[in-house]
Structure 1
Amino acid sequence: MPFMLYTDAQMTMEASNPYQLDFNGAGKNEFKLFFGSPYPNEVLKPKSDQQIMLVPASRLKKWEPNRVYSFGNIIEPIVSNGCMYQCLDNAQTGSREPAWRAERGSKCSSGSTTFINLGAKFQPADIQLALTYAGLDTANAGAALELGTQLQGGKSIPVYMRVTNASNSVRSDRSDPCISIRLNATITETTA
């Protein structure tokens, strides 16, 4: 197993990748994961950056013409309007983009595919990362978390995360996660 996020400090249980978000209204989810490799002979180094970093990133895909979407896929318009839309069937879009409506719960279609507006889209700025729980209060929203210039396997680093829902709406990306935490470009070396 390479360097990744785990749910336990012993690094025996991989964290779900990507982490799925459910909100019942405005608020925040806070949790702790562990980053590392269970193998003491592995060393992680940055490929071109000065630091090894965990970076909040968008996974939300743009709408595409003449594409088959599956029930639950979440997308956004080619020119973002700040909303995310979920596919309601297993069907192919047409050549023309839907007339996207900005009201939460509104529907639109293209070809034989119907989409529903899920509300404001999740964004990397919804995530704060820190090496301590107290650090979440001062962590910059959407900023990368620096982990060092080299990491030795066999020990884990606690990573605290806060995901904030600024919208008062119930929101979920459970069917097709829209944001994730990615590792910047790194190299894993094995020592004897």
Structure 2
Amino acid sequence: MAFMLYADEKMQKPADIRLAFNGTGILDTVLYFGSNQSDEVLKPQTDAQIILKPVDLIKKWQPNKFYYWNNIIEPSRPNGYIYRCTTQGRTGSEEPRWWIDNGGSGASGSARFTVLGEAYRHTDIKLSLTQAGLDSAVGGEGIELGTQLQGGNAIAVYMRVTNKSYDLRNDFMDACRGLATNSTITTTTDV
């Protein structure tokens, strides 16, 4: 396996950071970044440090595209809200009128979408190398993991996700936010 996020310090279970909220709230968790292969080395490709940062994964609406039930999208010109496909099908050439009130929906071609609420954003995620550091971390900013990482060692990554919306929200079917590193290269060494 390559360097990635794990749910456990022994790096045996890959992390799944899909989120659910029953309204406003804060969710704190700890993940572990590393490789369970001790001969792997991770280095930044062009930057001085390996950086782990929150990223948006929300896809924009596209014409003449097939959407599956539960796909989450935002309008091609974001309006601050996200929409779930509730009737799968192919969109037409015209984008639907995007409703922002609860229960509002729009159709394009044979696909139908219903508003989920305010959009998830990467700035809702704070990262730190310590639990205490989450209090002063800035949402959306990355953390430096080092100039080189050796496999076999896990780095604890503390994550705080804030939901400012009163809407019931989850991204179990189609992740809206994620974590990614800057450009890196993995090599192996003789251990």
User: TM-score per shorter chain, which class?
Assistant: over 0.9
Structure 1 Cα separation of the partners of residues 13 and 173 of structure 2: 22
Structure 1 Cα separation of the partners of residues 14 and 111 of structure 2: 35
Give the AA of the match of 1:75.
I
Q: SS at the partner of 2:152?
A: coil
Q: SS at the partner of 1:136?
A: helix
Give the AA of the match of 1:141.
G
Structure 1 counterpart of 2:172, from 171, 174, 178? 174
User: Where does 1:57-76 land on structure 2 (aligned, <5 Å)?
Assistant: 57-76=55-74
Give the AA of the match of 2:65.
R
1:4 matches 2:4: yes
Query: Identity across aligned pairs (percent)?
Result: 49
Give the AA of the match of 1:43.
V
CA RMSD of aligned residues (A): 0.9
Deviations 1:23-76 (A, max 9, x none): 001001111111111122111100011110111001101101111110000000
Q: SS at the partner of 1:88?
A: strand
Structure 2 equivalent of residue 127 of structure 1: 125
Structure 2 equivalent of residue 50 of structure 1: 48
Please tell me whether the aligned partners of residues 89 and 111 of structure 2 are also in contact (alpha carbons under 8 angstroms).
yes
Structure 1 counterpart of 2:21, from 23, 33, 45? 23
Give the AA of the match of 2:165.
S
Q: SS at the partner of 2:73?
A: strand
- My pick for the range that moved more, 115-124 or 31-40, is 31-40
User: Where does 1:152-191 land on structure 2 (aligned, <5 Å)?
Assistant: 152-191=150-189
Structure 2 equivalent of residue 93 of structure 1: 91
Give the AA of the match of 1:183.
T
TM-score by length of 1: 0.96
Q: Following TM superposition, by how much is the alpha carbon of 1:129 offset from its aligned partner in structure 2, in angstroms?
A: 0.4
**Superposition misfits of 4+ residues, deviation over 2 angstroms:** none
Structure 2 Cα separation of the partners of residues 177 and 80 of structure 1: 17
TM-score by length of 2: 0.97
Q: Following TM superposition, by how much is the alpha carbon of 1:105 offset from its aligned partner in structure 2, in angstroms?
A: 2.0
Please tell me whether the aligned partners of residues 120 and 176 of structure 2 are also in contact (alpha carbons under 8 angstroms).
yes
Deviations 1:59-114 (A, max 9, x none): 10110111111000000001000000000122111110001111132111111111
Please list every run of 5 or more consecutive structure 2 residues that lacks an aligned counterpart in the other structure: none
Aligned residues: 190
Give the AA of the match of 1:15.
A
